[in-house]
Structure formats: structure tokens, C-alpha cells
Amino acid sequence: MSSALPWIIKYRPRTIEDVVNQEDAKNAFLNWLENWGKPGQKKAVLLHGPAGCGKTSLVEAVARSKGYQLFEMNASDFRRKSDIESIAKIAAQTSGLTGKRKIILLDEVDGINARADEGGIEAIIELINVSKNPIVMTANNPYSKNLLPLRQNVLEIPMKRLSETHVVTALKKICGAEKIECSDEALREIAKRSEGDLRSAINDLQAIAETYGKVTLELVKSLATYRDRQYAPYEALQRLFNAKYVFQAKDALTSTDLDYDELFLWLNEHIPTYYEDPEEVARAYEALSRADVYYGRIKSRGQWDLLSYMYDMMGPGVAFARKVYKYRFKPFKAPSRKKQLSETKRSREVREALAEHLASRLLTSKATVKAEVIPYLQVIFKYNPRYAARIAKGYSLSEEHINWLAGSKSLEVIGYLKKGEKARERGRGG
């Protein structure tokens, strides 16, 4: 056995076939790559799935097998807007060495922080728009709030958590190549503790094998640790709805990095898709509504001692709304409400800016403007464009404000506004 090279590198998949248990993802990725640049095709793809499932390995194997030069940047390299513009954009607009095709790989994009790395996501979107090469991104959690604007510009390809069987198969191959004495029970225990993370399983195997020269069940139990795993939202919901015990339902909620508001969105969306019996649906919503009451008191009064009760209702309360336990596998997808919020984000930003603009001139609060002024302005701008133009002039409204208020009548309002300006210019000239 040689410790010169970490086994996760030494036994990294070399070919597409070496990437295990990801046939759907492989087919979708290869199809996208073959059709890249054609009308209607997305210019970038987002591979997402739990840690250690083979996202980066798949990209590297495809690049090697299909003759692409791989330009790879991880999260620490491209967090800032300036990094992306100065490094990645240049690479995205040039061909590879000796004219080879190029794949731009941005690893762990969910590691970009919206505040600390301001402008990073916007720069990636711009990079996608101008790139002359395929762009591939990876993420453990594609449902991060930071990635909402990005997801609209990419093809999403999910990758599955590896099963214990597939992890054991991979570990056996390594044991054979390294000529290590390994028991099947030990390998199954390593796979169980890795929870589908092949990378961590290989690290555990190497650590034990190089220290003791063999891998036994006793050694694995005494040395290998269970991973504190962060689950994707759809995995967490699968665990929650199929929990047999109260502690499992609670653990499911805390095993994902969704915030409280997002947890409510996911549960609210999938209660009626998971439960088929109307009575079960009613029970689940009753528990979720009680959780929402506790959450409201936590936010309004700061009563954080109610948090445990909130989790009891939205975890075990929802999970045990069923009459009889029966394992069910149901597909979970991102809540449509999140998509709607993302699509209307710009509209809400314009509304906020308009309210702030008018509040300073009317000497009142933004809340009052939104409740008592803007609704009337929308009626005026849509049904009386001529008078709306006078209001726009008097309150120095921008073209974006006019478009938002007038909708399909915005061109008429802007037309009257321009006519008024020309009339005033003629008056001054005369």
C-alpha cells in the first residue's frame, strides 16, 4: 500500500462508465453537451446532489472521454464579481489548447454568499450569456436563496445519493487493487456510516487500512464516525414523511439548511401531494397551522422558548397525521411559491423604490403610500394616460416607475409625457 496519493484521487472515475448509479444524470448531461449551442438549449447546466455522489467526477470523466479541456474553479476562486470577470470570463470566451473544446466548471456555487460575495451570482449570469463554451456548475443545495436568479438560466440535472450497495462495490474494488484484507461486514459498516458519501467512505477505508493493514468490523466501529449529513430538501421531506419515530421526524427537519420560512413553504406545498386521504391532509395542515402560530409569536414577541413546540408541530405533527404507517416514495420538487416570488422579485423591488420615492415628496410613510396612494395611481395610469403623464412629470417618476404603474398603457403615458416636454420647449423658444 502506498500513501503517496490519497485514494479519492487515485481511484477517481476515469471514464463515464466508472461513475456509478447515476445513469439518468449521465444521459441528461451528455445529451445537453452534444446539443450545446443549438437554438433553445441552455448554455449552462447545474449538477446538484449530496456530497460525495460524483458531481465533479462526472464532469471530469466526460471531459476526459469526450476530448474537452477542463477549466475548473472552486468556490474559493470565484466568489467575487471581479474574480469571475477577470478569470472565468476570459476562459469562457477562448478555445482550449491546440483548438480543443473547453468546459468551464464552477464547483460549489451554493458556497457563494449573497452579502459577503456581492455581485457574484450576477457575474455568473453575465458569464453564461457571453460564454462561447459550455458552463457546468455543481451544488449540494440548489434550493439556496442565493441561487434563485441563477436557476432560471440553467438546465438542472439532479444526482442521487449513492446506495450502501454501490458504496460497498466501490470499496471492494479498491481493497482488491490495494491487496487489503477486508471483511464484507466492515465495508457495509463503512458504507452505512458514510450515508452515501463515497468520498468520505474511501477516506475512512484508507485511514484504517494504512494504519492496521486490514479492515475489520471491530476496527470500523471503533474508528469510523457517523457523518453529520446535510440533506437536500427533497431528501429531508422523504425522511420526515416516512419517519417511524418522533425523533426521526425532528431530525429530518434539522438535517437540512432550509430556514424556517422555507420549511413552511416546502411542507405546505407537499402535504396534499404526499397524503392521499383527505382526513390525513386535514390533520397535517392543522399541525402546520399550529406551528405557524408558534412561529408568529416567536417573530413578533421574541419568544424563542416556543421553538421546540414549533418543531414538534411541523415535524412529528405533520409526519404522524397519517392513520397507518406505510412507506411511500413520492417525488418532491421546489415549491411553486418560491418560483413565483423569484419571478416577481423585480416587480416588488420597483414597487418599494416607487413607494420610497413618493413618500419623501408626500411627507408620509412608505406603508401609507403602498396602501393608499399606489392603488389609485395604478388606476389613473391605466385609464387616464394624459393625466398620468402630468403626475409623472410633477413627481419626477422614472420610466421604470411608469411602466410598472401603467402596464400595457405605459407607451401612451410616455408619449403624452414627451409631447408635453416638446410643447414646453417650444414655449420657451417662442
276-315: pLDDT as tens digits: 899 999 999 999 999 999 999 998 888 888 888 998 999 9
Region of poorest pLDDT, from 4-18, 34-48, 335-349: 335-349
Kindly state the helix (H) or strand (E) to which residue 415 belongs, with its residue range. Answer: helix 410-429
DSSP codes joined into one string, 55-76: HHHHHHHHHHHHTPEEEEE-TT
How confident is the model at residue 146, as a pLDDT?
A: 77
User: How confident is the model at residue 310, as a pLDDT?
Assistant: 92
Would the annotation count 415 as a binding residue?
no
Q: Which of 195, 190, 194 is nearest to 208 (CA)?
A: 190
User: Looking at the predicted structure, is the pLDDT value of residue 77 above 70?
Assistant: no
Q: What pLDDT score does 2 carry?
A: 46
Query: Does residue 5 lie in a domain region?
Result: no
Three-state DSSP class for 14?
coil
Nearest CA among 82, 71, 52 for reference residue 135: 71
Compute the average pLDDT of residues 340-366: 84
Label residue 93 by pLDDT band (50, 70, 90).
Answer: low
Please check whether residue 16 lies inside any domain of the structure. no
Q: Whole-angstrom Cα distance, residue 396 to residue 353?
A: 13
Q: Report whether 51 belongs to an annotated binding site.
A: yes
| pLDDT of amino acid 73 | 78
Distance CA 279, CA 277 (A): 5
Give me the sign of the Cα torsion angle 280, 284, 290, 293. negative
- Cβ atoms within 10 A of the Cβ of 216, count? 16
Residue 429 is labelled as binding a ligand: no
C-alpha cell at 131: 460564454
How many Å apart are CA 54 and CA 23, to the nearest integer? Answer: 12
Q: What is the pTM of this model?
A: 0.60
Kindly report the number of other CB atoms within 10 A of residue 15's CB atom.
10
Confidence band, pLDDT 50/70/90 cuts, at residue 348: confident
The answer to whether residues 191 and 257 belong to one domain is: no
* The C-alpha cell that represents 238 in the structure block: 422523504
Mutual angle of helices 385-394 and 399-406, in 10-degree steps? 150
- pLDDT over 70 for what percent of the chain? 87
Indicate if 212 and 290 belong to the same structural domain: no
Q: Let me know whether 237 and 317 are in one domain.
A: yes
Phi, psi (rounded to 5 degrees) for 242: -105, 15
C-alpha cell at 228: 453529520
Q: How many domains does the chain have?
A: 4
- In the structure, what pLDDT confidence band is assigned to residue 131 with cuts at 50, 70 and 90? confident
pLDDT at residue 233, rounded to an integer = 80
Within a domain: 7: no
Percent helix, strand, coil in the chain (nearest 5)?
Answer: 65, 5, 30
- List phi, psi (to 5°) of 106: -110, 105
| Residues 15, 60: Cα–Cα separation, whole Å | 9
CATH of the domain at 200: 1.10.8.60
Q: Is 196 annotated as a binding residue?
A: no
33/151 same-domain check: yes
Surface-to-core class of residue 395, CB atoms within 10 Å of its CB (0-12 exposed, 13-18 middle, 19+ buried)? middle
- Among the ranges given (54-63, 66-75, 108-117, 184-193), the one the predictor scored with the smallest mean pLDDT: 108-117
In tens, the pLDDT along 241-280 reads 988 888 888 888 877 777 788 889 889 989 998 898 999 9
Same domain, 380 and 327: no
Per cent of the chain over pLDDT 90 is 35
Among 120, 136, 158, the domain boundary falls at 158
pLDDT at 63 over 50: yes
Q: Are residues 121 and 61 in the same domain?
A: yes
Helix (H, G, I), strand (E, B) or coil at 104: strand
The predicted model gives 34-61 an average pLDDT of 89
Same domain? For 212 and 175 the reply is: yes
pLDDT in the model for residue 328? 79
Beta strands in 179-333 (DSSP E): 181-182, 214-215
Residues 199 and 322 in one domain: no
- Residue 381 falls within a domain, yes or no? yes
**Residue 308 φ/ψ, nearest 5 degrees:** -65, -35
Tell me the residue type at 161.
R
Grid cell of 276 as nine digits: 392521499
**Cell numbers standing for residue 69:** 479541456
Query: Is residue 1's pLDDT more than 50?
Result: no
DSSP label of 82: H
- Is 49 part of any known ligand binding site? yes
In the listed set 313, 334, 355, which residue is the last one of a domain according to the structure? 334
Same structural domain for residues 154 and 169?
no
- Top-ranked range on mean pLDDT: pick from 23-37, 192-206, 226-240, 336-350: 23-37
Return the pLDDT at 371: 92
How many Cα atoms sit within 13 Å of 36 on the Cβ side?
A: 21
pLDDT tens, position by position, 195-233: 888 888 898 898 888 888 889 888 888 876 666 566 778
Per residue in 324-335, pLDDT tens?
888 777 777 777
Q: What's the whole-number average pLDDT of the chain?
A: 84
Q: What is the pLDDT of residue 247?
A: 85
Claim to verify: residue 45 and residue 150 sit in the same structural domain: yes
For residues 2-12, give the mean pLDDT. Answer: 77
Does residue 67 register a pLDDT over 70?
A: yes
Q: State the pLDDT at residue 362.
A: 92
Residues contacting 414, CB < 8 A, separation 6+: 389, 399, 402
Domain enclosing residue 123, as ranges: 22-158
DSSP designation for 51: T
**Residue 52, annotated ligand binder?**
yes
Instruction: Give Cα 83 distance to the centre of its chain.
Output: 22
Q: 153 and 179: one domain? A: no
In this predicted structure, what is the pLDDT of residue 144?
75
13 annotated as belonging to a binding site for a ligand: no
Residue 117 has pLDDT above 60, yes or no: no
Q: Is residue 383 part of a domain?
A: yes
On the question of pLDDT at 368 being above 90, the answer is yes
Torsion of CA 35, 154, 57, 197, to 10 degrees: -140
Among the residues of 131-276, which ranges form H helices?
148-151, 164-178, 184-194, 198-212, 217-223, 233-241, 246-254, 260-274
- Which of 129-133, 285-289, 418-422 has maximum average pLDDT? 285-289
9 falls within a domain: no
Is 311 domain-assigned?
A: yes
**Is 121 a domain residue?**
yes
Please compute the mean of the pLDDT values over residues 178-185 and round it to a whole number: 89
Q: Is 182 annotated as a binding residue?
A: no
Residue at a domain's end among 202, 223, 244: 223
Cβ atoms of residues 73 and 41 within 8 Å = no
**Claim to verify: residue 369 and residue 328 sit in the same structural domain:** no
Q: What is the pLDDT of residue 79?
A: 58
